[in-house]
Structure 1
Amino acid sequence: MAIVNVTDQSFSNEVEGSGTVLVDFWAPWCGPCKMIAPVLEELDKEIGDSLKIAKLNVDDNPEAASRFGVMSIPTLIVFKDGQPVDKVVGFQSKDALKNVVSRHQ
């Protein structure tokens, strides 16, 4: 499955209407956000069949970021059946992200 870009408008359909989704709240000017992008690509290749990965640009989509209390980026939130069930802030290794996601699959 490919990583999808979501907006405030598409968030409900893309995230809340799916099973397990990892949402990356990011911005183009954020250094750690750029560092985590290839990690998410690798994660998608490895477990993308069982996990949907979505990216939300907080500069362009402040509603969703505010709704889920995103104060620092990158923030990655795991949603299960539309509900946030886990949150990590800052750069994470692929193994760390796999560990977080595996608790909710």
Structure 2
Amino acid sequence: MMSTFSEIIQKKEPVLVDFFATWCQPCTVLAPVLKEVKDTLGEAVHIIKIDVDKNQSLAATYQIRSVPTMMLFKDGQQLWRHSGLISKEELITIIRAHKK
């Protein structure tokens, strides 16, 4: 069964949402960084990728103007947002800071 976006962001653990596009070069660079973050944090974080071209209404709802844009949610609340590239270390620090 497919969960809806609003169901996914209601989780108790932080949910990192990566709004990306297949044609976006920085998005391609970010993909392995997100995998490393997931490998490091495991079950402590959920990471979902949203293709802005396939999910235009969702991208519009969250006013995604540039890709990649990452957002961190927990219990349905947006805790953090960042557009552009970010290091694995920075991302892990931010997720851990919001885990409490």
Q: Is the TM-score greater than 0.5?
A: yes
**2:76 paired residue number:** 82
- Match of 2:70, SS state, is strand
Equivalent residue letter for 2:66: S
- Match of 2:81, SS state, is strand
Equivalent residue letter for 1:56: I
1:44 to 6, 27, 38: 38
Instruction: Name structure 1 gaps, 5 residues minimum.
Output: 1-5
Q: Distance in 2 between matches of 1:49 and 1:13?
A: 17
2:23 is equivalent to residue 29 of structure 1: yes
1:18 to 11, 17, 23: 11
- State the superposition RMSD in angstroms: 1.5
| Cα displacement string for residues 80-105 of structure 1 (whole angstroms, at most 9, x for unaligned residues) | 11111100110111001112212210
Q: Distance in 2 between matches of 1:77 and 1:46?
A: 19
Q: Distance in 2 between matches of 1:48 and 1:82?
A: 20
State, as a whole percentage, how many aligned pairs show the same letter. 38
**1:65 paired residue number:** 59
When normalised by structure 1's length, the TM-score is: 0.86
Q: How many residues align?
A: 97
Equivalent residue letter for 1:13: E
Q: CA deviation at 1:48?
A: 2.1
Instruction: Name structure 2 gaps, 5 residues minimum.
Output: none
When normalised by structure 2's length, the TM-score is: 0.90
Moved over 4 A (4+): none
